[in-house]
Amino acid sequence: MTYGDCLWHWGIKGMKWGVRRYQNADGSLTAEGKKRYISPHEDYTRAHTKKDVREMSDTELSARINRLQKEKQYNQLVVTPSTMQKAIKFAASTAAALGTMASLYNNASNVMRIGKNFVSSEEIRKGMAATAISAVMKVNGA
């Protein structure tokens, strides 16, 4: 019999399938489950207590500083999904802007020709004049 021919299970000896160690059948936590999942870790609690710095011993202070520095370093190293999504969104918008700039640069002569035709168009001039006159009339209350 080879490794791939059968099902291997490295569970807890005597544990039944589908039975959770720290959870009741209705989904509520057992006493051990509450202790395990709800109460924070001892190091975390010790580092985040609001004891005055002047009352701490040197070892307590260094332990607290060490714990807080490690938490900060861990948070900086871990990439959260929101951070990754922001980075992807930024990269996509940057790529879109660069694509637009490249197409304008490559078609600069066409863009300039279209712009000159647009500005020299008699219909555009009349439309701009009418818009300016109506804006002045609105400002003056007419």
DSSP per residue over 34-58, as a string? HHHHTSPPHHHHHHT----GGGS-H
What is the rounded CA–CA span in Å between residue 47 and residue 63? 8
What is the number of alpha carbons within 13 Å of residue 93 lying toward its C-beta?
5
Top pLDDT among 49 and 101 is at 101
pLDDT over threshold 80, residue 6? no
Q: How confident is the model at residue 3 (pLDDT cuts 50, 70, 90)?
A: low
Looking at residue 66, its pLDDT comes to: 92
Contact 21, 15 (CB under 8 A): yes
Of the candidates 30, 60, 29, the one whose C-alpha atom is nearest the C-alpha of residue 43 is: 60
* 60 CB-near residues (< 8 Å, 6+ apart): 51
Specify the pTM: 0.29
pLDDT over threshold 60, residue 29? yes
Residue range 122-142, pLDDT digits in tens: 777 777 777 878 888 888 776
Q: What is the mean pLDDT of residues 3-31?
A: 76
Contact 16, 23 (CB under 8 A): no
Residue range 53-84, pLDDT digits in tens: 788 889 988 988 998 899 889 888 886 777 77
Give the 3-state secondary structure of residue 21.
Answer: coil
pLDDT over threshold 80, residue 49? no
